Amino acid sequence: MTGAWRASVDDWRWRLAHGCTGLRSIHSVVVLAETESTQDAPETRAAAAGTLVTAWRQTAGRGRFGRHWADTGEEGVAASFVVAAQAPERLALIGAVAAAEACASVLDSRADEVGIKWPNDTVVGGKKLAGVLVERRGDLAVIGIGINVAQRAFAGDLAARATSLAILGTTPDRMDVLLALMRALDDALDASDAHLAARFARRDALRGTRALFSTPEGPVEGEVVSLEPMRGLVVRTDSGERFLPALTTSVAEWGVFRRASVDGRLKTTDSERR
C-alpha cells in the first residue's frame, strides 16, 4: 500500500470510528485498503453484529441473484453492515431506505428526485444510483450497499442504466457519503415496520409504472397497482391482477413497454435492466 493510500485509509478509520459516536446499532468499523468485495471479505465474515466493513477500493462487487456490480475502483462507496439476522424482506427495506436517504442528503436541491425502485434500488430519473444486497449468515446478516459517487460517465449499455452523484451535479467526498449512509442505516435499523414502509412509500418509483418481472412461474408483465415492500406487489396484467411475492420476484425490465407487431416478443423503451 502506498503512503498516500495508507494515509487515506487511516483517515477513513479515524473519521468513521468517530462517526459511530451516538449511534445505536453501528459501533465498530473496519476499513480495508482494497478488496474484491466487502461482502465477501474475511473481515466481514469474522465481524460481530454492529460492524461496518468498507474499502478504499473495491474491485469485484456483487448484486442480487448473483449479478455483477460494476465497480470503478475509487469512484464509489462500498459498505457491508453486519447486523443481527431478521426477516430478509425487512433488511432489504432497511437497506433501501438507508441508501436512498443517504443519497438524498448529499444531493441538496435534487433530493426529492431520489426514488426507490422496489425492492431496494436507489434511482434518479429511472437510472440506478445505488444498490443493496442482503445475505443471511447464521445468526447474522450482511447488508451490502454500493453507491455511485464520482463517476463522470459509464461505459457501454451502463450509460443508459446507471448514474452517479457526480453526474447528478454534486461531487461529495466519499467519506461524507459513507458517514451519511452509516447514520441513515443506523436510524433505519431502529425504525418500526410502519415507519420504514412510510419512508419507502414517499420514494416509491415503481407504483403506477409498467414492468416485466421474473418469477419462478415465468415472466409477468403489467402495471404495478399496489406495493407492500416486505410482502410483494400486485400487478395488473392482460389477464387480470396477480400478487407477486417479494422473496421470489425481481424486476427484469422497467419502463415504457410496447409489443412487437410481428412476433409478439416484448420490446421496451426507456427501460432499466437490473
pLDDT, tens digit, 9 for 90 and up, residues 17-70: 999 999 999 999 999 999 888 999 999 999 999 999 999 988 865 544 444 455
- Taking 80 as the threshold, does the pLDDT of residue 248 lie above it? yes
Contact of 231 with 200, CB cutoff 8 Å: no
Q: What's the pLDDT at 197?
A: 96
First vs last Cα of the chain: how many Å apart? 34
Closest CA to 209 of 187, 235, 189: 235
- What is the full DSSP assignment across 131-179? EEEEEEETTEEEEEEEEE-S-S---GGGGGTB--TTTTT----HHHHHH
- The answer, as to whether pTM is greater than 0.95, is no
- Taking 60 as the threshold, does the pLDDT of residue 257 lie above it? no
Structure-block grid coordinates of residue 76: 464509489
Amino acid at 112: D
Q: What's the pLDDT at 268?
A: 33
- Taking 80 as the threshold, does the pLDDT of residue 234 lie above it? yes
Q: What's the pLDDT at 273?
A: 29
- Taking 90 as the threshold, does the pLDDT of residue 159 lie above it? no
User: Which comes out higher in pLDDT, residue 272 or 166?
Assistant: 166
Q: What's the pLDDT at 271?
A: 32
- Give, in degrees to the nearest 5, the angle at Cα 226 between 222 and 231: 105
Least confident window among 65-79, 125-139, 190-204: 65-79
120 burial class (0-12, 13-18, 19+ CB within 10 angstroms)?
A: buried
Per-residue model confidence as pLDDT tens digits over 106-144:
998 899 999 999 998 999 999 999 999 999 999 999 999
Contact of 34 with 56, CB cutoff 8 Å: yes
